[in-house]
Structure 1
Amino acid sequence: MLTNIVRSRFFQWLLFWGASFWLTLQIFSQTETIRMLDLIYVCLFHIPMIFAVHAHDQVLFKRLLLDRKFIGYGVSFFFLLGATYFIYLFSFNDLSVWIFPDYYFVALYEPIEIIGFSLVYIFVFQMIDIARNWFAQQQDIARLAQLEEENKKAELKALRSQVNPHFLFNSLNAIYSEALKKTDKAPNMILQLSDLLRYVLDQIGSDRAPLKDEIDYLSNYVEMQLMRLNDPSRITFKVDGKPGDLQIAPLLLINFVENCFKHADLQSDEGFIHIHISIQDNTLKFSAENSIPVNMYSQNQLRAGTGIENSKKRLELAYPNKFGLELSSDDLIFKTNLYMELT
């Protein structure tokens, strides 16, 4: 509540005129002590100044100058200065006699002097008001940016939380398939899945993860998938370049890898999956190709997967203007090409 009072326009006006009253009282006082005459004189002096400042701010500046009505502003400003001088005369010649009959003021300022005072007050007040508005605008912009950043983090967190069940569902389907065949691969795949889930749980709340750990995670996932294949040679996973200290949004690439295994035609002799990751400087390039079963998946169906849409949204949020993604299919081959600028 105190903050709202301090930021209120009325409080700032009181502060400005309070400072002006104290300063002019020090200037106009002719003795070491402040007399009642000095207080009355300063009060009367401020009446025309208050009129000039607020008439200019509320009418001339906001309704004419800001609307680029320059001629109207110039004419009105001229009349404002004249009206200010007449109010000054009224304050000292008429108002003072009516309110303070026991006091008489001899020395009055000339018109040019009152106009000079008015110009100084108008200029100082308007500059302070412009600065105040600018700082308030910057604070609003900062609050809006902070709100957008918080919304962005919340959306990213929600998208990351979708990776875990999606990944788990696909992996359990693979293990279930091996269990139905009553092979010895299922127990090993469960252990492999346990290690993968440990990484998922460690990174699900993180904004960034070491690129090296992310690549190891993808490699372990591919190895788990290879366990259920009779001909693992049709699957290739290649990494060129060194991750170094590069960081990446965690669990971002797994959806593209999962998509390959989900839609690839690995039952036919021509079925294949080729995944290639290239690292050069701060740029990561991810490319993947997989065969498509005849008359089973159309290009539109492949693009509409939950995992791919999840990754697209995360890329847009985490790497705005720093990534490129192309999905295409031809000759029964689905292709994914992604590049990202990492830090």
Structure 2
Amino acid sequence: MHRVKKLFTLIHIGVWTLFGLLVALQLSQENEHWRTMTLGFLLTCLYVFYSHFFLLTRYLGKNQKKAYFGKLAVIMLTGPFPFLIFHYRKLDTWDPFIEHYLMTLVTSVPMFVFLSWLARVTENLVINTIKKEQLEKQAVEAELYYLKSQINPHFLFNTLNNIHTLVYKQAPAAPEAVMRLASLMRYMIYESNAPTVPLSRELDYLNDYVGLQQLRYKNAPVVDMQVEGEIAACHIAPLLFIHLLENAYKHSPARLEPGDIKIKVEIQEDTLTFKVQNPIGNNRATGLEEPGGIGLPNVQKRLALMYPGKHVLEMGASDNTFNVLLKIEGIHSQAHEREADVLYH
């Protein structure tokens, strides 16, 4: 906000400097006393403009019309005096004084009263708009922070349950599971605080999670992940996919065959398509988030905040499988572009 006010100050200085030069140039061609004429005219303009400008600062938007119009009348009636004081002619008689006073009062004073009103309204509009946008941005950032803060406990709770089972069974894979969990938590705590992360890093995170979950199964990998397209230049909001993958594990049958959970990541131009498919057996209802679950609602809210109007999330069951389709546009946007888009919407 300080920078905005400083910018307006520079604009005022620049405009008045240019205006003064134009007045001096015009008068220098018409009158040999152009210096005093220019000084007097500028003083009248400055006096009327800024007296009314700061009067509006005090009374604009407040129900004090009588005080405002009373002081405005004083400003207008006294406005011509600086010009008359520096007038090159001696106005020691009544008639020429009244003539020049009325001429200045009718022509210059109303114009600069109007210009000061226009300048004050414009500045207030810009400043209030910036304040509103800052408040909206703070609200969005607070909600995003809240949603992301839900991810760690939710994910940690479910993963610790799995590790608890390994420890309870005294499985040899338990120490490795703890190390994998530490790696996952390191990403969530230290790397996912940015508005966006490289898509490649997010996919590495999913692979780590798949590796952790695979410790529960003795057979070949139950997840078949395919990536198509160039991902090097793509950026994505962090921790969007984990709930979708976790949901696939959570609502699949206890016994999974190799490749039962299918993940496909496809990049086409500026659009990312993320598909997850998992078996649900005869119980189709289990494909959805459990009542009270925060996973999928969390994803939906974050998508609405980070990619308003630029995403599609579809979920449904068919042929004993549950399918999730997520499409996101603008995956090449950097962090500052994503923040601007959030703010705009």
Match of 1:105 among 89, 94, 98: 94
CA contact (8 A) 1:264 1:271 kept: no
CA RMSD of aligned residues (A): 4.4
- Following TM superposition, the consecutive aligned residue runs of length 4 or more in structure 1 with deviations greater than 6 angstroms are 268-271
State the AA in 1 paired with 2:225.
Answer: F
Describe how 1:69-218 pairs up with structure 2 within 5 A: 105-107=94-96, 109=98, 114=102, 117-218=105-206
Deviations along 1:243-287, whole A, 9 cap, x unmatched? 213222111211111111111124266993111111233321100
CA contact (8 A) 2:227 2:264 kept: yes
Matched, 1:320 2:308: yes
Deviations along 1:196-238, whole A, 9 cap, x unmatched? 1111111242222121111101011111111211333542122
**319-328 or 175-184, larger mean C-alpha shift:** 175-184
State the AA in 1 paired with 2:255.
Answer: Q
In 2: Cα distance, 1:176 partner to 1:297 partner: 27
In 2: Cα distance, 1:237 partner to 1:295 partner: 25
TM-score (norm 1): 0.65
Gaps of 5+ in 2: 1-15, 17-22, 24-32, 62-72, 78-91, 334-345
In 1: Cα distance, 2:233 partner to 2:259 partner: 36
Task: Give the share of equivalent positions with the same residue, in percent.
Answer: 30
CA contact (8 A) 2:280 2:287 kept: no
In 2: Cα distance, 1:292 partner to 1:260 partner: 9
TM-score (norm 2): 0.65
> Compared with structure 1, are the counterparts of its residues 253 and 210 closer, same or farther at alpha carbon in structure 2 (3 Å cutoff)?
same
> Compared with structure 1, are the counterparts of its residues 141 and 255 closer, same or farther at alpha carbon in structure 2 (3 Å cutoff)?
same
Greater relative contact order (CA < 8 Å, ≥ 6 in sequence) = 2
Matched, 1:336 2:324: yes
Secondary structure of 2:244 counterpart: helix
Matched, 1:265 2:290: no
Match of 1:246 among 234, 239, 251: 234
Secondary structure of 1:107 counterpart: helix
Describe how 1:284-295 pairs up with structure 2 within 5 A: 284-295=272-283
> Compared with structure 1, are the counterparts of its residues 298 and 217 closer, same or farther at alpha carbon in structure 2 (3 Å cutoff)?
closer
Secondary structure of 1:242 counterpart: coil
Number of matched pairs: 271
Deviations along 1:4-36, whole A, 9 cap, x unmatched? xxxxxxxxxxxx9xxxxxx9xxxxxx9x99xxx
CA contact (8 A) 1:271 1:291 kept: no
Gaps of 5+ in 1: 1-15, 17-22, 24-29, 34-38, 40-44, 63-83, 89-102
Secondary structure of 1:144 counterpart: helix
In 2: Cα distance, 1:292 partner to 1:148 partner: 41
CA contact (8 A) 2:263 2:277 kept: yes
CA contact (8 A) 1:266 1:272 kept: no
